[in-house]
Amino acid sequence: MSIITANELKTRGVASIEAALRGQEEATISVRGKERYVVMDMEAYNRLRVCELDAALYQARREVAEGKGIEESVDEHLERLRKLEP
């Protein structure tokens, strides 16, 4: 994975990101020698989001299959949420 320094990002801007992402899906931005951020193109980001949503759907289906789900109307759901508010 390529590393872009914060100083390089300040001086070269988006060009430094584009160069770091050539042939790679992600690059790290380091600040004062420590890796702090990750940048990626939108295609890679969207793939990660799809994976995240698939994982959440899998977990929800598993919980329903285990009997941990609650079946209720929208109004019942909103009322239950209101009761949870501090």
pLDDT classification of 76: cutoffs 50, 70, 90: very high
Name the least confident of 12-16, 29-33, 34-38, 66-70. 66-70
- Closest by CA to 3, choosing from 52, 36, 41, is 36
Q: Which residues contact 38 (CB under 8 A, 6 or more apart)?
A: 26, 27, 28, 29
Average of per-residue pLDDT across 46-61: 96
